[in-house]
Amino acid sequence: MVNAFSLRQGEDHLSVNWLEYFDETELNAAVERVREVFRSKDFQVRPNGRFAVMNVGAAKTAVHEAVGRTLNIDHLPLSDDPSHAGILGYSSEDLAVAVELAALVTYQDVHPAVP
């Protein structure tokens, strides 16, 4: 799962979606809205694909305490994805950041990309 949180060479942020953007009261409804965004962008979402839900504050705190990096999570809306956001403050060389982010994800935080 660490690869899911690793930046590729040349990337300046990890693309994520801001669930609160959708103003849904239920987590599953917000995740479904992200699925809709992916389908509308014609992304190939595989049956074995997964979405991980993560608390922004917990992510920033864990990375800062473990690695000494200060992450920013910024809303970076796209024309075809108004909920798009990014995790900034690390690079493709920062494997320790990716490890810390992956360690925050529990079984309950993982949702199938294809229900």
Alpha-carbon span 109 to 115, nearest angstrom: 15
Per-residue confidence (pLDDT) for residue 1, from 0 to 100: 85
The model carries a pTM of 0.93
What's the half-sphere exposure (Cβ side, CA atoms, 13 Å) at 85?
Answer: 17
52: part of which helix (H) or strand (E)?
strand 50-52
Number of domains in the chain: 1
16: part of which helix (H) or strand (E)?
strand 14-17
The rounded average pLDDT for each run of 10 residues, N- to C-terminus, in the chain (115 residues) is 95 97 97 96 92 97 97 97 98 96 97 94
Range of the domain at 16: 2-112
In Å, how far are 4, 22, 45, 47, 107 from 75, measured between CA atoms?
19, 13, 23, 28, 26
